[in-house]
Amino acid sequence: MHEVVSGEEIQIHSVVPIPEKFPVKLAGEIPERGEYFKEILPNDFEHGNERIVREFAKVLFERNGKTISCQPQKYWRVGNGENILFL
């Protein structure tokens, strides 16, 4: 896995953080080729047995696992050639 700094339009194979603190620009209009949903997920926990949520993240995902076109400032390319973003 390696980090790529780009800003160009690419296909992301993971959830896409909805920009609040992570700069991601969705490429144009979301195409009708997929079923896109927004979700709020736990993103940061306090350490310990209780695992209290300290932060939530809003994400966009395609329900059937299709890629999402976007223009992230940076992303990570994994060994199988897929592109992912971290929350």
| Residue pLDDT, tens place only, 21-70 | 555 666 555 556 678 888 999 988 888 788 889 999 899 998 898 898 88
Closest CA to 3 of 73, 87, 80: 73
Residues 87 and 17: beta-carbon distance below 8 Å? yes
The position carrying tokens 């209780």 is 50
What is the domain partition of the chain in residue ranges? 2-84
Per-residue pLDDT, 77: 96
Residues 16 and 24: beta-carbon distance below 8 Å? yes
The position carrying tokens 């809003």 is 58
